[in-house]
Chain A
Amino acid sequence: MTIRIAAETPWYDLFSRGARDWLRHNQKVRSAVKESLPDLLAGSDLITRPNRTVAVPVKFLEHSRFRLLDAQNGQGAGQGKGQPGDVLQPGKEEGSEPGEGGGNGNGEIKFVVELKVDEIVDWLWEELKLPELKPKRSATMDEPDYVREGWDKRGARSRLDRRKTMKEAVKRRAIQVDPVPITNDDLRFRQLMKRATPATNAAVIFALDVSGSMDEGQRRLAKQFFFFALQGIRRQYSKVETLFLAHAAEAWEFDESQFFQASSSGGTVTSGVAQLALQKMQARFDPSRYNTYFFYASDGENAAEDREPARAALAELAQVVNYAGYVETGGVATFRPRETQLAELFGELKARGCPVGVSHLGSQEDIWRAIREFFTEQSLEKAA
């Protein structure tokens, strides 16, 4: 009998089975995350990052085995001083929050999965079974464009198709005796044809009520809703232009970075922002070339004297956009004996058959419901 002490084996470091299986676990986590994404994103842990990724904290997957129910009074063997009845670890007070601070010491490890926003949006659309957006169906939507079509023996030098030309030359040389390398007849030029293509441009106008009654939380909800609404539209159109309008008593255009910071202490005058949206649309987004979407977030309390102007402006707006969505923010706790003025106005428009949707955002869970409602309705509008 001998004891051999083998030499150290450097190849052990070359491959880690543990890391391999860990990566596989992470893959599975990804697909599990994908399945429960709408719920996850509704949670407050969502962090939107500027590089278009989202970090989602997740737990490890558990490989289940048969296990007994937890005993009412768990038992175990221990060692040390102490007589029956001695308390080794005091229980928590009834009703106190478990795991506050660093107390949740059961060693559970969480980790963070980073997901691309584009992926998420794709998953979401599958998950929520959201319909694809429908571009306006109208003849004027067609936009002429040049597309490649066929080859010709004549053409501009810049459109010479070298590969095709060489093929022709090879074919010719194959049947000729003593051929010349290339002739004018071998040349092939790409041809362009004028074709009408449907417009794939979209313009999204976000309007936000920044009056004093809109608090930080409501604005955040609106922002999240806008974010995912925009992602949904981006998914459909190749070119999406955005326009950010904020208003209180007056309305202004902002760029995206300042949009959510804007605030004003004034009252709410909705007609102003609707007018501004109309003006900007006419100036920038020709309705024959753009699919326009208008999303408006407000707490719904429009100034009483603005009721009629707002009704007129919104009605006009509803005529020209593909779809207008109104989200009303405000805590569920807010006691509202009646519908707010804006909810009423949009309700009227909807009843008249305009492409309008109304939804209420009380908390984060509502965002998905709202997104689903808007996109489903939008497609019904157009299908009808």
Chain B
Amino acid sequence: MTTELEEYAARIEGLAHRLGLDYYPVDFEVAPQSLMTEIAVYGLPVRMPHWSFGVRYIHQLVRQSMGHSKIFEVMFPGDPCRAFLMDGNSLAENTLVTAHVLGHADFSKNNQLFARFHDMSGGNIVEKAAAHAHRIHQAIEAVGLEKVETVLDAALALESHVDVTGELHRARYAEFVKEKKRVVEGDFRKRFRTLPGESEPAAPPIGPLKTRVPPHPEFDLLWFIAQYAPDLEQWERDIFLAVRAESLYFYPVFACQIMNEGWASYWHARLLRDADFLPSPLYLDAIKAHSDVVRPFASGEQTALAINPYHLGFTLWEHIVERHGLDKARAVMKEEDDFGFIRNWLDAELAEKLDLFVYETRPGDEIRVANRDVGAVREAILAPKFNFGAPRVAAVEVKSDGGLVLAHEHTSDGRGLDAARARKVLEYTRRVWRRPVRLHTVNERAEPVELAA
């Protein structure tokens, strides 16, 4: 199979070049199911150990054994991109997947969000993550599993709390701020100075002032703890920064999922359509696999309470190419992320054609169709993506005893935090911060509450 696949892949690649796809080289690897499962669980082929991945692993195994989840491919953007194909795929499936991966590769080189993270971190996240894992294993050998786990508990719990608009290598706050001008020059002062008499001696300058930490609410919690936790050891800081680097790598994948999967699906369909060198039975099988991937509902169902990003993205891209041409589509692909993509390109006509709706779950688990307004549909699709899928929690103050105060921006999230889980996270954090940690949020009745650990 490998030689045939190599041949098809090479010809598909030629086709991709002619159609204007532009990407870093792609390393393909055919991997056994066990590795594919781990990649799906960890997000990276080799990643730091943590018990929470073990739970996800079992869930994944159960889903796979029930046939709910089949992993065709995983692709890691970079230079080179690394793509893993499953050895259980048929030749037709792997041909499709090769074309699909080329779509992803094109997307990840050209999309501005991917490009920015690529520039910041270099295109070798797979190797970097393996290096992080290696260092964490060294730390385990040096200080013991329990201690390392304590740090990972905190760092991974705060995984999504990074500043996705900020830099990967971010400097500490400036140590000092300039002294502020103490008085505002007003009319009175001007007139007062013109009065006769000796001029007032200038007050001696106070000099630069020490910066308050944090000078503003700091949402990049992983960075903040790594930089400012009172008694953090170097290996602990390393772990926080490693988790943060991986988290920043995951962000473009997360924030462009609909666009990216849609783009890759558009391209695998288009490349296969033009690949006249494929034998017809193989083409048919591949197209069948394609329609399984981009179908909106599970087989036999009429409605779905989740939107298949492959289907939505694919439909949107087809629509854009059809109406505005491929060049416009490429421009959109470069500039947008899912927020812009859905808000700007999912119009009422398309939403209606796709039968999109907003549903509401009521107490007692009754589910009703609530709305078919396109604005509401867009926001319902995007809501889980807001702020990397995490509540807006910022570090606001370090008390004089070294205690950390966090605040949840409940006004932008619309409601408070789940207190039991939040308390757990505070406990994790406290063990790393080593001083009391408090959190302000609101409860079910929107009354302010303070949680502490």
Contact = CB atoms under 8 A, between A and B. Distances in A.
Interface of A: 1-6, 8-9, 12-13, 16-26, 28, 60-92, 94, 109
Interface string B426-451: 00100000000000000110000000
A109 B415 contact: no
Contacts, number: 243
A80 B416 contact: no
Interface stretch (B34-42, B177-185, B237-245): B34-42
B131 interface: no
A281 B55 CA distance: 54
A335 B28 CA distance: 76
A6 B30 contact: yes
B189 to A, nearest CB: 49
A26 B51 CA distance: 9
Contacts of A83: 369, 372
Contact of A60 (B55, B369, B391): B55
B360 interface: yes
Contacts of B380: 75-77
A84 B356 CA distance: 11
B53 A5 contact: no
B70 interface: no
Contacts of B275: none
B54 to A, nearest CB: 3
B interface, over-half SS: mixed
Contact of A17 (B38, B161, B308, B359): B38
A93 B358 CA distance: 24
B360 A16 contact: no
Contacts of A61: 51-52, 55
Contact of A5 (B30, B302, B367): B30
Nearest to B37: A18
A74 B356 contact: no
B393 interface: yes
Interface in B25-57: 25-32, 34-35, 37-38, 41-42, 46-47, 49-55, 57
A72 B415 CA distance: 10
A66 B367 contact: no
A85 B13 CA distance: 49
B206 interface: no
Interface stretch (B1-9, B111-119, B209-217, B279-287): B1-9
B368 interface: yes
Nearest to B390: A66
23 contacts: A3-B25, A5-B29, A13-B34, A16-B38, A17-B42, A17-B47, A18-B60, A28-B51, A60-B55, A62-B55, A63-B153, A66-B418, A66-B421, A68-B414, A68-B415, A72-B363, A74-B361, A75-B358, A76-B305, A77-B381, A78-B304, A84-B371, A109-B59
Contact of A77 (B37, B87, B361, B377): B377
B357 interface: yes
B304 A80 contact: yes
B57 A12 contact: no
B415 A21 contact: no
Nearest to B3: A5
B362 interface: yes
B55 A9 contact: no
